[in-house]
Amino acid sequence: MGELRLMKGNEAVAEAAIRAGCDGYFGYPITPQSEIMEYLMVEKPHERTGMVVLQAESEVASINMLYGGAGTGKMVMTSSSSPGISLMQEGISYMAGAELPCLIVNVVRGGPGLGTIQPSQADYFQAVKGGGHGDYHMIVLAPASVQEMSDFVKLGFDLAFKYRTPVLILSDGAIGQMMEKVELFDPIPRRTNEEVIRQCPWAATGKPKERDHIIITSLDLDPAGQEKINLKLQAKYRQMKKDEVRFEMIQCEDAEYIFIAFGLSARICQKAMDIARAKNIKVGLFRPVTLFPFPAKAIAEISKKVKGMLVVEMNAGQMIEDVRLSLDSPQKVEHYGRFGGIIPAPDEVVSALEQQIIGG
C-alpha cells in the first residue's frame, strides 16, 4: 500500500510529477490550476529529485519550453486551464509533428473566451480532435477522481514516451480543487543523463563523432516527405486505438439504460444512478477513461443491450458526437448538458433520463 494522503486534485498532479521522475515543469499561473506550480515551488523538487520548475512568461513560452526539453529526451510537463491551453495549441501541434513526448494537464474552466473560473468540460473537442493545426491527435486521459489525477500523471508519461506523443490530462476545476484520499505511488528515480541518451536515441543531446547529427523539427517542405510523416502519425493513432482504449463500466450488467459520461460528469452520474435505481430504473454508467482513443467498439456493443443512452456532459454536446459515430445502427441517444461553469445536480440528471430517454 502506497502512502495515503488527503489532497486536492491539483496537488496530487504536482506530487505525482515529482514521484514519476519528471525532469521539468514549465507553467504560467491561471485559475483553477495554480496550486500545481505553487505546490511544486513549495516542495523544492530540485532538492528532492533534481526536477526543474520554472514559471514562464506565458503559456506560449511554457509549451515551447516543453518542446525544447522533450526534444532533448527529458520528461517534461505543463499545466494550465482552458484559455492557457488555447494559447498552447500551436506548440502542441509542433510537438505532435516532431513526435515529442510531453504531459499537459488542462484543468478546464467554462468558456468561451475568458469565460469563468468554474468547472466545465467544454474543451472536449479541442482536446480530442487535435486543437491546433494539422492532422494530429493527443492521447487524452479523463480523470474522475483525485486518485486518477495522481495515477494518470505516471500513465501519461509512460504513454507519451511509448508513442513519442503529447498526452493531455483533461480534468476540470472541480476535480482540480476537490480534496480526496489518494494513495500515492512510490517515487521512481529520475533517469540519469546517460539513461536519457540511451533510451531516447532520437533526441538532440549533443552529437558524438560516431553518429549523424540529430534534427528535431516538424518541417518538411517536400510534400512527399510531409505526407510520409502524416502517414506515420496516422499509423501511430491506429495503434493507439488498438492498444490503449480505456474505459470503466459500472452496474451495466442488468442495465436497461446507460449514462455515458467522463470525468466529473461520471461522478455525478454515479449518484444519479443510485437515485434512479432506488426508483427501480435500471441504469448503468459507461465512463470513457481515454477520450482519444475513444472506446467506440465498447459503446457500440453496450448500445445493443440497452433501450437508450443519455450522454451527460458539462458542455453543449461534444462527446455525444463521438458516441453517435461509434454506433453501427440507429440507437436512442440523447444529450444532457449544463455549461458555463454550472455543475448538474444528480436529480436533474435523473429527470433528464426520465424525460428524454424513458418518457421521450
Partner 1 sequence: MEEQFAKLDIRKDENIVYKRTPLLVDRPLSYCPGCGHGTVHRMLMETLEEMDIQDKTIGISPVGCSVLAYDFLNIDMLGAAHGRAPALATAIKRMWPDKFVFTYQGDGDLAAIGTAETIHACNRGENFVIIFINNGIYGMTGGQMAPTTLPGMRSSTSPYGRDEKTMGHPLRMTELVAQLPGTYFVTRQAVHTPNHVRRTKKALRKAFENQKLNVGISFIEVVSNCNSGWKMTPVNSNKWMEDNMFPYYPLGDIKVDGKIVEPKAVTAKAGE
- In angstroms, what is the minimal distance from the CB of 105 to partner 1? 17
Among 21, 31, 52, 270, binds partner 1 (CB under 8 A): 52
Q: Parallel, antiparallel, or unpaired: how do β-strands 76-80 and 139-141 relate?
A: unpaired
Among 28, 67, 163, 257, binds partner 1 (CB under 8 A): 67
Q: Parallel, antiparallel, or unpaired: how do β-strands 290-292 and 76-80 relate?
A: unpaired
Phi-psi sector, 206: left (phi>0), alpha (psi -120 to 50), beta: left
Among 117, 178, 184, 214, binds partner 1 (CB under 8 A): 214
Residues in CB range of 280: below 8 A, 6 or more apart: none
By the rule CB under 8 A, 64 interacts with partner 1: yes
Among 24, 156, 166, 173, binds partner 1 (CB under 8 A): 24
CB 85 within 8 A of CB 78: no
Given the complex with partner 1, which of 69 and 115 has the nearer CB atom? 69
Given the complex with partner 1, which of 87 and 314 has the nearer CB atom? 87
C-alpha cell of 344?
448538474
By the rule CB under 8 A, 61 interacts with partner 1: yes
- Range 92-151, binding partner 1 (CB under 8 A): 94, 98
Number of CB atoms found within 10 A of residue 228's CB: 12
- In angstroms, what is the minimal distance from the CB of 297 to partner 1? 37
By the rule CB under 8 A, 343 interacts with partner 1: no
Q: How far apart are CA 132 and CA 154, in angstroms?
A: 25
**CA distances in angstroms from 23 to 52, 54, 62, listed in the order given:** 6, 11, 14
By the rule CB under 8 A, 193 interacts with partner 1: yes
Residue with cell 536515441: 201
**CA distances in angstroms from 284 to 5, 302, 325, listed in the order given:** 30, 10, 21
Given the complex with partner 1, which of 67 and 257 has the nearer CB atom? 67
- In angstroms, what is the minimal distance from the CB of 56 to partner 1? 7
Residue with cell 500523471: 153
By the rule CB under 8 A, 60 interacts with partner 1: yes
Binding-site string for partner 1 from residue 222 to residue 261, where x marks contact by CB under 8 A and - marks none = ----------------------------------------
- In angstroms, what is the minimal distance from the CB of 2 to partner 1? 27
Given the complex with partner 1, which of 184 and 204 has the nearer CB atom? 204
CB 240 within 8 A of CB 139: yes
Binding-site string for partner 1 from residue 258 to residue 297, where x marks contact by CB under 8 A and - marks none = ----------------------------------------
Instruction: Name the segment binding partner 1 (CB under 8 A); options: 1-9, 53-61, 151-159, 352-360.
Output: 53-61
CB 127 within 8 A of CB 292: yes
CB 137 within 8 A of CB 128: yes
By the rule CB under 8 A, 207 interacts with partner 1: yes
Among 12, 18, 76, 283, binds partner 1 (CB under 8 A): 76
Residue 219 DSSP symbol:
-
Given the complex with partner 1, which of 98 and 314 has the nearer CB atom? 98
Nearest to 254 by CA among 273, 228, 226, 231: 273
Burial of 244 (0-12, 13-18, 19+ CB in 10 A): middle
Instruction: Give me the residues that bind partner 1 (CB under 8 A), please.
Output: 23-24, 26, 52, 54, 56-58, 60-62, 64-69, 71-72, 74, 76, 90-91, 94, 98, 193, 204-209, 213-219
